[in-house]
Each structure stands twice: as structure tokens, then as C-alpha cells.
Amino acid sequence: MVSGARGSLWNHPSPLAVIPSSSRRFKVDRLAVEVYPTRADMGRAAAHAVAKHLRDVIASREHARVVFACAPSQDEVLSDLAGNEGPIVDWAKVTAFHMDEYAGLAPNHPQAFRRYLHDHLLARVKVGAFHALPAEGADSVAVCAGYSALLAEGPIDLICMGIGENGHIAFNEPPVADFDDLVSVKRVKLDEACRQQQVNDGCFSTVAAVPSHALTLTVPVFRAALRLSIHVPGARKARAVHAALEGPIATACPASILRLHPDATLYLDEAAAGDLRR
């Protein structure tokens, strides 16, 4: 699908689109939470909200800067965004980033996050620009500094993201997360729970095959973004969702900091919301 394929329809959702209704909605601190009956419903609703936000930003400033998570939890959202019957976005006016990458993996490696984003979005829509995080570079300090400079060139209008099974956001794991980190991108060691999640997600066959380190955007980047769209499906995420929404705001569950963001929505399916008391 090319960016201009839909002519003058940029300001409207697809006429074929049906936006699902949520099972329930509530707020935790400043964080809006929407729960949907199924994973597909969650993805479709989130995609339409993302598209509307991007259309509004583009109408106001003629350009949008977006960070995308690259994980199976994002499959439905990206599929709806990129699909021919999905919501309409003028992708030529979008600059895309991604939030993390395994240290040492080449961009075309089957498990590279750049490969994931290419296959699920960038091969299907033509964004104005895509800035890849070149984690295969030998000098991680220089790579992190270079990517930090790109991020700092303007506001981040939107981050599409998930929450890990141990409550991580990007690769800000409980042992390394810092809510007031002094850098925007850093190299981190992945903890065992995170590496096990990559196996649970079907991305690697064994924990030993999962890279031990990654480059990641840090928590202050998420705190500073103008809007967060958080997509969390599946029963394996229920414990992390419970900790993020009903536990203390602390680095023991990095996702708990999302409750303080002034413009963020957490999209859940019923399975991911299964441990909540509301």
C-alpha cells in the first residue's frame, strides 16, 4: 500500500472499519484503561485510536514522530494499521523509530526487531523516514549517543508499546530500570525472566539462544512522549498488568510508572485483565 493510495480520505477512518466496543473502562491514577473481549478487538480499537491521534498531529504540525515496539503483543495493532481496510494515515508524513534491539544482531536477522517492524509495518506502508537502532555496531556507547541525538531532534508524538511479563517497558527490566535515567538510550543486560519471555513468545527456541544484552530507550523517553498507546494482550501478561495497576509505583515493576503519564491509554484483552479487581 503506498501512502497516497487513498487520495483525499486522510481525515477519515476507513468506511469499512468497525471499531469494537470495550468491555469496561476505568482510570488508575492518570492512566486510562480499556478492556476488550478479545485480542483482535483490542488491536483494532487501539489501531483506530493511534490513527486518529496521528491524523490530528499531522493536521496540526504536518508531521508526526512515532516510536514502535516490536513484539508479538503488537501484531494485531500493526496489522490493522497497515491493512487495506484499516484506519487511514498519511504515512509519508510520519517518521518512525523503534524502542530497542538485541546487541549484535544484524538488521535482517530473523529475530531482530528491525526485521519485525519491517515485516509487520514498514513493508506495507511507506513512512516518510525510518531511523533504525544499529545495535550490531561494536561501539554501543556511540550507537546509543547517535540514536539519542535523533530522538532529541523533536518531540515524540506517540509511542506504541507493550508491557513485558516481568513488567518491563522496552528493555528497562526491574534490575536496570531508572525512572530518572540521565541518558535516553543505553546498553542493558537482560534478566532471565525477560529472556524466558522471548522463548514463551516463540521468538527463540531456548533461553540460551536469546542474546544476553540489548540497546534500549530509557524510561524518561516514555515519560516525555506526548502520548502513549500501550497494547497488552494475553493471560501471560495478567500478573504484570496487576502489578503495574494495583502495586506500588516502583522499578520492581517498571510499567507502574505509566500511571503517571498525562496522556496514556492501556489497551487490554480480557485475558490480560484477568487478575484485576475491577
Q: Is residue 13 part of a domain?
A: no
β-pairing, 264-269 vs 158-161, is unpaired
Q: From the candidates 168, 231, 242, 261, which is the catalytic residue?
A: 168
Give yes or no: 62 in active site: no
SS3 64: strand
Give yes or no: 41 in active site: no
pLDDT band at 10 (very low <50, low <70, confident <90, very high): very low
Computed over every residue of the chain, the mean pLDDT equals 91
Q: Is residue 245 part of a domain?
A: yes
The predicted structure's pLDDT at residue 15: 41
Q: What is the pLDDT of residues 194-214, one digit of tens each?
A: 878 788 877 877 888 888 899
| pTM of the predicted model as reported, rounded to 2 decimal places | 0.90
The CATH number of the domain holding residue 204 is 3.40.50.1360
The predicted structure's pLDDT at residue 1: 33
Burial class (CB in 10 A: 0-12, 13-18, 19+), 89: buried
- Do the Cβ atoms of 242 and 212 come closer than 8 Å? no
Q: What is the pLDDT of residues 79-92, one digit of tens each?
A: 999 987 778 899 99
The predicted structure's pLDDT at residue 207: 82
CA 272/CA 242 separation, integer angstroms: 9
The predicted structure's pLDDT at residue 190: 87
Q: Is residue 85 part of a domain?
A: yes
User: Which stretches does DSSP call E strand in the chain?
Assistant: 24-28, 31-36, 64-68, 94-98, 100-102, 129-131, 158-161, 185-189, 213-217, 228-232, 264-269
- Do the Cβ atoms of 129 and 96 come closer than 8 Å? yes
Taking the CA atoms of 259, 265, 271 and 272 in sequence, report the sign of the dihedral they define.
Answer: negative
Q: Is residue 12 part of a domain?
A: no
User: How many CB atoms within 10 Å of residue 239?
Assistant: 16
pLDDT band at 17 (very low <50, low <70, confident <90, very high): low
Give yes or no: 100 in active site: yes
Q: Is residue 8 part of a domain?
A: no
Q: Is residue 124 part of a domain?
A: yes
Selected residue with higher pLDDT from 217 and 211 = 217
The predicted structure's pLDDT at residue 85: 73
Q: From the candidates 100, 157, 269, 270, which is the catalytic residue?
A: 100
Q: Is residue 153 part of a domain?
A: yes
Burial class (CB in 10 A: 0-12, 13-18, 19+), 269: buried
Residue 220 grid cell = 524518561
As a three-state string, the secondary structure of 107-121 is CCCCCCHHHHHHHHH
Q: Is residue 14 part of a domain?
A: no
| Count of structural domains, the chain | 1
**In the Cβ-directed half-sphere of 139, how many Cα atoms lie within 13 Å?**
6
| Amino acid in the structure at residue 69 | A
The predicted structure's pLDDT at residue 197: 79
Q: From the candidates 90, 166, 231, 269, which is the catalytic residue?
A: 166
Give yes or no: 12 in active site: no
- Do the Cβ atoms of 213 and 248 come closer than 8 Å? no
Residues present in the chain in total: 278
SS3 106: coil
Q: What is the pLDDT of residues 120-149, one digit of tens each?
A: 999 999 999 999 999 998 899 999 999 999
Q: From the candidates 34, 41, 173, 270, which is the catalytic residue?
A: 173
Q: Minimal CA–CA distance to 251: which of 166, 170, 177, 164?
A: 177
CA 191/CA 143 separation, integer angstroms: 22
Domain enclosing residue 131, as ranges: 24-158+172-269
Q: What is the pLDDT of residues 46-55, one digit of tens each?
A: 999 999 999 9
Q: What is the pLDDT of residues 146-177, one digit of tens each?
A: 999 999 999 999 999 999 999 999 999 999 99
Q: Is the pLDDT of residue 265 over 90?
A: yes
